[in-house]
Amino acid sequence: MKTPVEKYRIVTYVAFIVTFVMSSSAVYASEFHDFVVSDTKFKAPVSWGKMKPASSMRKAQFAVSRDGITDKGEVVFFYFGPGGAGG
């Protein structure tokens, strides 16, 4: 079982990655979707279209696109619960 410090490190690491991805794809975005996964609050640019999560493990899901790229992408936030996913 993970200690509270280990859990905090994992959440911090995930939050850092998500923040980096969101900021690099929408540096100048001024409007955001606010959403919460577990007890962590996030902001996603409104250019990311909100989608209904495709499964119960997906807590937030967004459609993303870029000029000049025909394939659409998705950004998905998963939450497996306390101790989930190998914890």
pLDDT digits (tens, 9 = 90+) for 37-80: 888 899 988 888 899 999 988 899 999 888 888 888 899 998 88
Residue 60 CB coordination number (10 Å): 19
Domain range list for the chain: 4-78
pLDDT digits (tens, 9 = 90+) for 3-49: 554 554 554 555 555 555 555 554 555 688 899 988 889 998 888 88
Question: What is the C-alpha separation between 10 and 38, in angstroms, rounded?
Answer: 13
